[in-house]
């Protein structure tokens, strides 16, 4: 267990060493960490060559991270929303690189629309218990929990106990993912361990809708950045459906989205609202993003996909199979906030009272010393040839 670093550290660290990668549009990590410590009970944990900040006050989110404490913030945070929360808003968008939500967002069992609603952005709303409210420390500052009450579009009600544990992975754990990390590599990583209990008196059943754990990360976009979403290409998929779905928001052309053999690419410039999903039985338990301008590779690895399990549909439609759904999603925002998302979902949870399920998500950022090390990490972690990604996009 790591002990969170207190606000005193921020005053002791020099702001004069900020990286040359800072631009007019980017904040230094130390500036944002100090802001979060003051206004959101931000807790700093050191990791790799950098660190990250989580906030129990803001639903236990991991808010930001950096490859080095003097570098720019990699995650998106909304300073104005944190200072002046719009409690009545459809979405209190504080930001954060790892936030806990409950899905599904779509299908007839959506938690984000009321019974009888037409699914559109004007009436979409985040449930109040996901929009506001702190997680409270239990046995340590990094282990937090709270209770939630939610209802879905079918009128079914759910009581949940949720526990989030924020961890610092070891270098050995990260090297199992990407291979040896050289002394010249800048990197940082964090993990959230998310457990949900059925805290009610009735079993959760398919016929009335099932919740799933939904972990979403908001990251700083770039003019040339992209999400890299690998998928399985073997023919054993019993669903015999597409690996990738794009029927969410905006239409996609080849300037924004491409499907290759074994992976999909999505432009993540925060200039156009769109979303893609990788379906159950085709998804792998890993996804990535890369910004060629900052040379930052982001990897998000999560709990292994359960073959043939029901996964909740995230499509905004009520005439879909609610349990033939998404495991991975990437969302590109269209402003005015500047971010894109990498998202993972657990299976839909058929839990009896007192039963629980845990979904773990590990986020890593790297800047490798050269292309060879980048390519090796992509091959080891994603089982993709970096040359294929370059040919497809750059």
pLDDT in tens, 124-182: 999 999 999 999 999 888 999 999 999 999 999 999 999 999 999 999 999 999 999 99
pLDDT in tens, 296-351: 999 999 999 998 899 999 999 999 999 999 999 999 999 899 999 999 999 999 99
Contact 331, 339 (CB under 8 A): no
Say how far apart CA 141 and CA 54 lie, in whole Å. 10
Token pair 């996901």 in the structure block, residue: 130
23 — pLDDT class (breaks 50, 70, 90)? very low
Q: Give the mean model confidence (pLDDT) for residues 76-96.
A: 91
What's CA 152's distance to the chain center, in Å?
22
Averaged pLDDT score across all residues of the chain = 92
Half-sphere exposure of residue 44: CA atoms within 13 angstroms, side-chain side: 23
Place of tokens 């590990």: 362
Q: Which two tokens stand for residue 175?
A: 């090297």
Q: What angle, 0 to 180 degrees and rounded to 10, lies between the N-to-C axes of helices 386-393 and 371-382?
A: 100
Class of domain 99-393: mainly beta
């Amino acid at each position: 267990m790591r002990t969170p670093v207190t606000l005193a550290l921020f005053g002791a660290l020099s702001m004069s060493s900020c990286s040359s990668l800072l631009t007019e549009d980017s904040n230094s990590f130390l500036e944002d960490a100090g802001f979060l410590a003051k206004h959101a009970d931000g807790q700093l944990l050191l990791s790799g060559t950098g660190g990250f900040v989580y906030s129990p006050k803001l639903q236990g989110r991991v808010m930001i991270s950096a490859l080095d404490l003097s570098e720019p913030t990699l995650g998106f945070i909304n300073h104005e929303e944190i200072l002046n929360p719009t409690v009545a808003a459809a979405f209190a968008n504080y930001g954060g690189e790892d936030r806990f939500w409950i899905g599904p967002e779509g299908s007839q069992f959506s938690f984000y629309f009321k019974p009888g609603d037409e699914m559109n952005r004007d009436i979409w709303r985040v449930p109040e218990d996901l929009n506001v409210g702190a997680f409270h420390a239990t046995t340590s500052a990094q282990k937090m929990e709270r209770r939630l009450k939610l209802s879905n579009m079918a009128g079914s009600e759910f009581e949940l106990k949720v526990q989030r544990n924020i961890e610092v992975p070891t270098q050995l754990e990260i090297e199992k993912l990407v291979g040896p990390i050289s002394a010249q590599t800048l990197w940082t990583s964090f993990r959230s361990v998310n457990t949900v209990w059925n805290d009610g008196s009735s079993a959760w059943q398919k016929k009335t809708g099932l919740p799933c754990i939904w972990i979403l990360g908001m990251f700083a976009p770039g003019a040339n950045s992209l999400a890299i979403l690998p998928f399985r290409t073997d023919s054993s998929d019993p669903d015999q459906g597409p690996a990738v779905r794009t029927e969410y928001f905006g239409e996609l052309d080849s300037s924004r989205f491409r499907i290759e053999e074994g992976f999909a690419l999505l432009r993540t410039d925060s200039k156009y609202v769109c979303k893609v999903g990788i379906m159950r039985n085709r998804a792998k338990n890993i996804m990535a993003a890369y910004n060629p301008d900052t040379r930052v590779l982001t990897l998000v690895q999560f709990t292994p996909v359960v073959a043939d399990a029901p996964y909740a549909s995230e499509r905004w439609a009520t005439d879909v199979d609610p349990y033939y759904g998404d495991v991975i999603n990437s969302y590109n925002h269209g402003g005015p906030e500047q971010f894109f998302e990498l998202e993972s979902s657990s299976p839909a949870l058929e839990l009896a009272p007192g039963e629980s399920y845990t979904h773990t998500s590990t986020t890593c950022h790297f800047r490798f010393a050269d292309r060879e090390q980048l390519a090796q990490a992509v091959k080891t972690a994603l089982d993709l040839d970096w040359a294929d990604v370059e040919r497809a996009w750059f």
